[in-house]
A and B are shown apart, each in its own frame.
Chain A
């Protein structure tokens, strides 16, 4: 990227700021190219440097860093660790401000890990760690972007969907999301180069930040890129606009904030100071929205926006597809590789390419093969990774963690120069195992997305749990969907889901086929269930940007929560969960069916008048079939079920007799006596008058007459 002869002094602060990074990026890319040719040389050198620099820390002395001269020494003297190994040290660091315990490097922040369960962890971040972040998350990235699209964008603001909230620990250090700390480098300039005001970036409890992000982004047509910690946040942002554009456009036109938008009054006050009526922009937006959402809307609203930076690997891949419905084909994605508070593990090799490469100077890597069953003797260094194999990542980082098990499982997918590339698969503490199979996030996702594709519905969110009360135990999927397909039963979707799930793992398929594990079940959830979940988590204190969809439900409480919010309508789905009675085609059996229906409706909110009308219908139809269907006696199957919204009964009368549609005016058998035919005709009138819906079909040699009666 040749920056030529730009006169820096003429530029604004933010332009200088970006150019600085872009120019730095030249060196970062060159250096990465060199390092990746010979990764072990650099990775080993990094380890030796970390050991040397930390030999006088409490940890370094405990494990005799001073006498570690090789990787083998390191692996024999220093133990494999997890967070608990450091908890006491971190307590002393954060409560008492003690230094030089784990690291001699300057600790500048503690990241809050978004743990799905348990207490949030405090992960130390040092200035060296931050330097690496800057190098790769900014310099490298902006350089790639500038090379692709030029330099126009540096003049314009970006949309920031990360949260910058931070609190202070007793030691005086800051504590909060790592993306927040990274933004620190912008300092006070942050409000000038991002569109969202601090009221959304450092929100007060009870503030509707989605509205603020959307409102302030919509008024600025020049936005050039978006940063969001997970790409799903950008999708949520776009969906929010799609669902609320009228309100947003009105507010923009009038310079107001609609009463229905929740926020503390002080926040509302301070926001008023930042807005003014913008009728022209409002009109522009209104026209755009009125055109609809079939065409990508992002290039219309923000013609300059050409990049989304965020994590889109592993569980987030499916969101990219949905985002692409809103963006133009030349929109770029910088799919951040495996990044955690502990450090950057891998880096994308190019824009729009999720392949990410290990970074030889970010941390010292060790890998434990997943099939090693925790045998540490099988741990390998990065040069020994085999393509296609799965490993848990173990890190020695620049912030005081040594041989730390990340519990993230990655697969080696090839090499970039001579350095392994990886993809994130799943988290180890998010696995399920019932009977020897190992089901993880990847299997669960794959089955869900395949099923979504098979039926064409829109899968909003889903969760899975193990039903250990049933025998045999089985997996249960809960899905919130939109655009539920017509003419498809839940049973059908469930069947396909089971098939798709089995296809992800042969051991799983084997167990299900042998009924060692029960067939997978599926239930649909009511609309807005996941929104409710998120709102409850926020009400309990989790920050909105950190609420992740609960994919694997382990907590009894979570399971109860979702199960009580099943959507009865979708799960019943047109009658296959109906009750059934089979009777001989004898008029004497009429009483049996009438009694059954009477019992069925006993405790339901049904008027006597409705019940009587229903009985008339049943009588007519049953008698008709008894008379016409069979020469001698045959069987009549009667199915019945209740649907809600509005409350109604649906019934099927099924017989295997002569093909005969009782809705036709004439009886098919002209040898019948005239008076029988007349009775049939009259009876039909009663049915037609009292049933709200009548339908007939002949299928599989069966007459199927369906009726529906609203109560």
Chain B
């Protein structure tokens, strides 16, 4: 999976390309840990994310929990296949999806 980051002051945009699965989740987790310190607005662009697994969902959940305390987070351009996962797992109620 590829991760593209764009930081602009207190805004951080992250684009995920490919599959967020058991193999790639730790990488994303690390990237977020290194990058979220002074971020107040986090946006995940999921237009090119074609798959998300349980481990991926855990990373997203923990990002949401962190951003709930230091600002806000949103998730954009969710593909159908990933949206189905968000709906069935109840993540639609936890995430802000645009």
* Chain A positions near chain B (C-beta within 8 angstroms): 206, 259-260, 262, 525-529, 531-532, 535-536, 539, 557, 560-561, 563-565, 645
B54-A526 in contact (CB<8A)? yes
B89 to chain A, nearest CB (A): 5
Q: B residues within 8 A CB of A531?
A: 54, 58
| B72 contacts chain A at the CB level, 8 A cutoff | no
* Chain B positions near chain A (C-beta within 8 angstroms): 19, 21-23, 29, 33, 53-55, 57-58, 61-62, 65-66, 69, 84-85, 88-90, 94
Interface of B is mostly: helix
Q: How far is the CA of A557 from the CA of B89 in the complex (A)?
A: 8
A557-B58 in contact (CB<8A)? no
Q: How far is the CA of A645 from the CA of B18 in the complex (A)?
A: 11
A257 to chain B, nearest CB (A): 14
> Given A560-B88, A564-B89, A565-B89, do A525 and B54 touch, yes or no (CB 8 Å)?
yes
A-B contact pairs, 12 of them (CB 8 A): A206-B65, A527-B22, A527-B53, A527-B55, A528-B22, A528-B58, A529-B54, A532-B61, A536-B94, A563-B88, A565-B54, A645-B23
Given A527-B54, A539-B94, A560-B89, 6 new contacts (CB under 8 A): A526-B54, A527-B53, A528-B53, A532-B61, A536-B94, A645-B19
Q: B residues within 8 A CB of A564?
A: 84-85, 88-89
Q: Which residue of A lies closest to B19 (CB)?
A: A645
B61-A539 in contact (CB<8A)? yes
Contact among B19, B23, B55, B65 with A528 in the assembled complex (CB-CB below 8 Å): B55
Contact among A259, A525, A557, A645 with B33 in the assembled complex (CB-CB below 8 Å): A259
Q: A residues within 8 A CB of B23?
A: 645
B54-A645 in contact (CB<8A)? no
- The 10 tightest CB contacts between A and B, nearest first, are A564-B88, A560-B88, A529-B54, A526-B54, A528-B54, A528-B55, A532-B54, A526-B53, A532-B58, A565-B54
B84-A262 in contact (CB<8A)? no
Q: A residues within 8 A CB of B54?
A: 525-529, 531-532, 565
A532-B57 in contact (CB<8A)? yes
Q: Which residue of A lies closest to B34 (CB)?
A: A259
A645-B21 in contact (CB<8A)? yes
A557-B90 in contact (CB<8A)? yes
A535-B58 in contact (CB<8A)? yes
Q: Which residue of A lies closest to B84 (CB)?
A: A564
Q: How far is the CA of A563 from the CA of B89 in the complex (A)?
A: 9
Q: B residues within 8 A CB of A645?
A: 19, 21, 23
Q: B residues within 8 A CB of A206?
A: 65, 69
A188 to chain B, nearest CB (A): 31
Contact among A260, A527, A528, A561 with B90 in the assembled complex (CB-CB below 8 Å): A561
Q: How far is the CA of A528 from the CA of B62 in the complex (A)?
A: 14
Q: A residues within 8 A CB of B55?
A: 526-528, 532
B53-A565 in contact (CB<8A)? yes
Q: B residues within 8 A CB of A525?
A: 54
Q: How far is the CA of A206 from the CA of B88 in the complex (A)?
A: 24
Q: B residues within 8 A CB of A529?
A: 54
B61-A260 in contact (CB<8A)? no
A483 to chain B, nearest CB (A): 15
Q: A residues within 8 A CB of B61?
A: 532, 535-536, 539
Q: A residues within 8 A CB of B69?
A: 206
Q: How far is the CA of A557 from the CA of B53 in the complex (A)?
A: 18
B22-A561 in contact (CB<8A)? no
B68 to chain A, nearest CB (A): 9
Q: How far is the CA of A564 from the CA of B91 in the complex (A)?
A: 12
B55 to chain A, nearest CB (A): 5
Q: B residues within 8 A CB of A260?
A: 29, 33
B13 to chain A, nearest CB (A): 22
Q: Which residue of A lies closest to B29 (CB)?
A: A260
B3 to chain A, nearest CB (A): 17
Q: B residues within 8 A CB of A563?
A: 88
Q: Which residue of A lies closest to B68 (CB)?
A: A206
Q: B residues within 8 A CB of A557?
A: 90
Q: A residues within 8 A CB of B22?
A: 526-528
Contact among B21, B66, B88 with A561 in the assembled complex (CB-CB below 8 Å): B88
Q: How far is the CA of A434 from the CA of B30 in the complex (A)?
A: 47
Q: How far is the CA of A463 from the CA of B29 in the complex (A)?
A: 28
Q: A residues within 8 A CB of B85?
A: 564-565
Q: A residues within 8 A CB of B21?
A: 645
Q: A residues within 8 A CB of B53?
A: 526-528, 565
Q: How far is the CA of A527 from the CA of B85 in the complex (A)?
A: 15
Q: How far is the CA of A517 from the CA of B33 in the complex (A)?
A: 50
Q: Which residue of A lies closest to B21 (CB)?
A: A645
Query: Among B19, B54, B89, B90, which residue has the most Cβ atoms of chain A within 10 A?
Result: B54
Q: B residues within 8 A CB of A532?
A: 54-55, 57-58, 61, 89
Q: B residues within 8 A CB of A539?
A: 61, 65, 94
Q: Which residue of B lies closest to A264 (CB)?
A: B69
B16 to chain A, nearest CB (A): 16
Q: Which residue of A lies closest to B91 (CB)?
A: A536
A262-B90 in contact (CB<8A)? no
B33 to chain A, nearest CB (A): 5
Q: Which residue of A lies closest to B32 (CB)?
A: A260
A554 to chain B, nearest CB (A): 16
Q: B residues within 8 A CB of A536?
A: 61, 89-90, 94
